[in-house]
Amino acid sequence: MERRLKPADGRPAPLWFPPVVLGVALVSSTIFLSIGISVSHFSGPTTLSRLTPFLLVMDEIGLWIFFVGGAFFAARSYWHRSFFELIGWHFRPLIDVPVGIVAGVVSQLVIVPVLYLPFEAINPSLSKSLSKPAQSFVGIGHGGGLAVVAFVLVIGAPVCEEIFFRGLTLSVLRDRLGNVTPVVRVALSILGSALLFALAHFEPLQFLGLLAVGCVLAGLMWWTRRLGTTIVAHATFNLVALVALVRIH
């Protein structure tokens, strides 16, 4: 049975709200990165592999401010709910930790590899291309910055991205699609939030895998109605990749 929140005095945020917040967050990220470059006197191309840990943090802070701030604004201005109630900020360790760990490990080691098997049969070198973004993150960690990279990938990104994509975006779709049948509502809400999640990473080769992971995380959120499980799953997914790449390096 579909779980519902108690009625609110306001109305859901419009469907255009999450994409607009994402766009503003991306602009903010660019601005923060530019400030970091100016402060640190960094020179040369700002590709991911060349960023310093400081610049990585500046880049991510620009995103996180609006991911969290957008959800807070929507909760207070549209739904008239508390921020924590809207995004499902609840945590049940005995359930969320084991379920999240299993979901993260299975997504990273089973679901994503299986999705790309047909493509790797055509292009055996595809796996190297798929791992390049993650390898770039590990490259940032050289010279003592691994702790910063680990914080970004395993703590900062999972928390802030889950607040935005599964807390805010999924809530918008869920509440705005209230006039369709329950099955269609679930499918469109999960797929829509996962699509925005995949598009936000700007990684064409990894798009299919990101879409699948987004669906898994959105499905967990729909089932539990809280972020605890999805944050653990997201953190585990990133941690497995990080550990594997660090061992290779």
Mean pLDDT of 10-17: 92
pLDDT interval class at 123 (50, 70, 90): confident
pLDDT, tens only, 133-154 = 777 777 776 667 888 999 999 9
**Does residue 131 carry a pLDDT above 90?**
no
pLDDT interval class at 4 (50, 70, 90): very low
Burial 37-56 (b: 16+ CB within 10 A, else e): beeeeeeeeeeeeebbbbbb
Total count of residues recorded for the chain: 249
pLDDT, tens only, 149-202 = 999 999 999 999 999 999 999 999 999 998 889 999 999 999 999 999 999 999
Please enumerate in sequence order all residues whose Cβ is within 8 A of that of 5, keeping only pairs 6 or more positions apart, or say none. Answer: 81, 85, 225
Please enumerate in sequence order all residues whose Cβ is within 8 A of that of 186, keeping only pairs 6 or more positions apart, or say none. Answer: 2, 222
Mean pLDDT of 213-228: 96
Long-range contact pairs involving 73-77 (C-beta distance under 8 Å, separation at least 24): 74/13, 74/17, 74/168, 74/172, 77/10, 77/13
CB atoms within 10 A of CB 118: 8
The CA dihedral of 117, 118, 121, 122, to the nearest 10 degrees, is -140
Mean pLDDT of 104-111: 96
Mean pLDDT of 91-115: 96
**What is the Cα–Cα distance from 111 to 233, expressed in whole angstroms?**
13
pTM as predicted: 0.93
As a whole-number percent, the residues of the chain with pLDDT over 70 amount to 94
What is the enclosing helix (H) or strand (E) of 170? helix 170-176
**What is the Cα–Cα distance from 174 to 179, expressed in whole angstroms?**
10
